[in-house]
Structure 1
Amino acid sequence: MSERQRAIHQYSAGESHGRGVSADLVVVGAGVVGAASAYFASLAGVRVVVVERGAIAGGTSSAGEGNVLVSDKEAGPELDLALYSQRVWREDLAEHAELWEFESKGGLVVAASEQNVTSLRELAVRQRRRGVEVRDVARTELRDYEPHLSPELAGGAFYPQDAQVQPMLVAAHLLRLARERGAQVRTRTEVTGLLRDGARVTGVRTPGGDIPAGAVLNASGTWAAGVAGLAGVRVPVLPRRGFVLVTQPMPPRMIRHKVYAAEYVGDVASSDTALQTSPVVEGTASGTILVGASRERVGFDRTVSVTAIGTLAAKAIALFPMLREVRAMRTYHGFRPYCPDHLPVIGPDPRAPGLWHACGHEGAGVGLSVGTGKLIAQALVGDRPDMDLTPFAPDRFADVEEALR
């Protein structure tokens, strides 16, 4: 057991310099990542208090499409985490899948040119080496998967592991399950400071009183940099705005899979600040069709971008011409927690012992949440995590301070 992990058990045993201990772990944030962390920690016997300044799933978790993807990730640590999370979704949480509408619909990535098809094939080779299931799809086979696709497309790739969930239901039910194991959830409770014992973080301050704890987990999404700052450390999580269109209800299975253009993979990996749009189109159980995805770094500006929405609509119609006759009922948008190297921040922070992080997942947070939560819980109780957390270390940004500007 490491020194950090021994300290958690020390505080849990009440050896906190005379203070009564109300929790082993305070989780800051009640989105999908915080909820998954609370659930798996509670399952491991950790006494958890979740604090959320707003409502459950009131941030990024309420503003996405619920992607559980492997298709959009290059070979590397994030893909490994996505594959690990797939196992957690499909094995550890299989009995609860209906609660959050887990749908193993598969993803179809399509290319408009032969050059893009070649890039897709090369990506698929690298992904297969890491354990991804992917089938090459010829031009003539595309409409076997999606009958309404444009006939102008050059080819694609099908990923049967790609899935979909309803993220607000994920957060709500995981927190309910955690409460059944003794966790407390306090909404409308803002963290205004951190308790300290020397360099060690020993709990949180809130307007309703202090909550001493053996460890504090920063799972506060796009606001994670602010929570880290309370401990005097820098974690470069920045907001990246995105829009989604919702159409009128359509007949069932008009669009059978999650369908997106090949350039989406490049946009996900880009660090550009300017607007980027790449069409992602899928149906829902209610019959509505969701159209994404845009990305732009504009701080926390909530202004509705007519340019972003119009571009998304035009690109979706290019994939599915029948959408030209379909009305958009509404749009919604939110902010993805973006890190400059496109990897989340997961694990204990050596700069502030007692502070842990689970943040910075950008648009992959829903899919990666359960794997992240299980790994955090394993490390917290002194078990060896199923994955090496080194690539996600909170202090890895020492040489990229320029990215914060």
Structure 2
Amino acid sequence: MKHDTIIVGGGVVGLSVAYGLLKKGEEVIVLDGADDDARASHGNFGLVWIQGKGVSAPHYASWSRRSAALWGAYAGGLFEEAGVDVSLSQTGGIEYFTKEDELSAYVSELSGLRSALGGDYPFDVLEHETLKTYVPEIGPKVVGGVFTQMDGHVNPLNLLRALTIAVRQRGGTLITSLRVVDVVAHDPGFTAILADGRKVPGDGLVLAAGLGALELGHKLGFQVPIRPQQGQVLITEKLPHFLRYPSGTLRQVNEGGVQIGASKAEVGMDDTEDIATIANLAKQAVDVFPHLANVKLVRSWAALRVMSQDGLPVYQRSPKYQRASFVTCHSGITLSAAHAEVLPDWILAKNIAPDLSQFGEGRFDV
């Protein structure tokens, strides 16, 4: 059977796009990878996060905010279709600082972004005592923080499950645990070749395979300007809920554990953990919340982010083949709502499609 659109990649990005295309009436097949592939969707932090994004790229800040504003209705729709609560919370977020100079530099960056956006970028700078009224558990090393109402978080594995169910219920086909080893462009049309030799034909193709795009993208005329970046994450035992406001490095998940993260390492495709990084993450968490020093860590993991050269998403139509698109980002959770509700119009080249030209690969041609 020939489908309207082949989506290579069954993580949050690929499934979000698939869900959106199905709602537009497209026939879609999603080709997921092998179990041993690098899977950012299985190791991410789960934030719907705006604060600090796009300090030097206001268009990215605006795109992220557009997605965050869609998240409430998006989560509700997924619950109605899939029966899965993704545990969305959008009560705001706080970045915590233990050094005055780092807080000042951060506020300066946000102020510059607010000016670039014409003043439409709300945030509040909180001194230690004021911050303590928001989160009484902070320790004496915390000099202050920045609060914005725009931020939140979800359960990322529940999101992945909800999207999988919703895609199937809308008639989408999902083939899992098989790597796409080749893609052939016929212009018009495409064929994806699976590891077991099967050939999957389609009129259009969306490459949303994360780091897997490094092997396939050039065949479709894309530059594929991405690299892996390792991040390690820790999670504590279940605790009584105290952390209403997530940060970029700390959040309390809906089951009660505190998730600690935000390490960054340029180590290629290495997704192994190391004790030094784990110890440093734990120390930073205890500096903010001293009571965590007496809490047990129950698990940790390392995963690979999909990073472009400038850290921004890449949305690119093939310069060689009609109806081939490349979609990648390291903020797949934040942008999931936009990828489902807005991006399909761009993929289908609708007149109402958003202008995403600033996110194209041409920005790297310097």
Task: Work out whether residues 38 and 175 of structure 1, in 8 Å CA contact, stay in contact via their aligned partners in 2.
Answer: no
Structure 1 residue 384: deviation in Å? 3.2
Alignment of 1:53 with 2:33, yes or no, is yes
Alignment of 1:202 with 2:184, yes or no, is no
Task: Work out whether residues 281 and 316 of structure 1, in 8 Å CA contact, stay in contact via their aligned partners in 2.
Answer: yes
Equivalent in the alignment of 1:121 = 107
Q: Which amino acid aligns with 2:274?
A: S
Cα separation, 2, equivalents of 1:87 and 1:53: 31
Aligned length: 356
Given candidates 236, 245, 248, the residue that maps to 1:257 is 245
Cα separation, 2, equivalents of 1:109 and 1:26: 40
- Relative to the length of structure 1, the TM-score reads 0.82
Structure 1 residue 285: deviation in Å? 1.9
Equivalent in the alignment of 2:293 = 324
Cα separation, 1, equivalents of 2:259 and 2:295: 12
Given candidates 59, 62, 68, the residue that maps to 1:86 is 68
Cα separation, 2, equivalents of 1:54 and 1:168: 18
Equivalent in the alignment of 1:214 = 203
Task: Work out whether residues 92 and 245 of structure 2, in 8 Å CA contact, stay in contact via their aligned partners in 1.
Answer: yes
> CA, structure 1 residues 369+226, in 2 after alignment: closer, same or farther (shift >3 Å)?
farther
Task: Work out whether residues 142 and 155 of structure 1, in 8 Å CA contact, stay in contact via their aligned partners in 2.
Answer: yes
C-alpha deviations, 1:341-393, integer Å up to 9, x for none?
Answer: 1111113121443321111x22x221112213433310233323553211111
> CA, structure 1 residues 44+57, in 2 after alignment: closer, same or farther (shift >3 Å)?
farther
Matched-pair identity in %: 24
Q: Which amino acid aligns with 1:314?
A: K
Alignment of 1:153 with 2:135, yes or no, is no
> CA, structure 1 residues 310+377, in 2 after alignment: closer, same or farther (shift >3 Å)?
same
> CA, structure 1 residues 51+288, in 2 after alignment: closer, same or farther (shift >3 Å)?
same
Equivalent in the alignment of 1:381 = 348
Unaligned runs of 5+ in 1: 1-20, 261-279, 400-405
> CA, structure 1 residues 56+311, in 2 after alignment: closer, same or farther (shift >3 Å)?
closer
Alignment of 1:137 with 2:126, yes or no, is yes
> CA, structure 1 residues 202+80, in 2 after alignment: closer, same or farther (shift >3 Å)?
same
C-alpha deviations, 1:235-257, integer Å up to 9, x for none?
Answer: 1211111100111111222x221
Q: Which amino acid aligns with 1:30?
A: G
Q: Which amino acid aligns with 1:120?
A: Y
Alignment of 1:344 with 2:333, yes or no, is no
C-alpha deviations, 1:306-333, integer Å up to 9, x for none?
Answer: 1111111111111111111111111011
Structure 1 residue 57: deviation in Å? 10
Decide which moves more: 62-71 or 49-58. 49-58
Q: Root-mean-square deviation (CA), in Å?
A: 2.3
Q: Which amino acid aligns with 1:160?
A: Q
Alignment of 1:96 with 2:83, yes or no, is no
Equivalent in the alignment of 1:287 = 256
Structure 1 residue 292: deviation in Å? 0.6
SS of 2:343's partner is: helix
Cα separation, 2, equivalents of 1:370 and 1:134: 23
Task: Work out whether residues 37 and 372 of structure 1, in 8 Å CA contact, stay in contact via their aligned partners in 2.
Answer: yes
Cα separation, 1, equivalents of 2:344 and 2:29: 14
Structure 1 residue 153: deviation in Å? 2.3
Task: Work out whether residues 231 and 352 of structure 1, in 8 Å CA contact, stay in contact via their aligned partners in 2.
Answer: yes
Decide which moves more: 94-103 or 188-197. 94-103
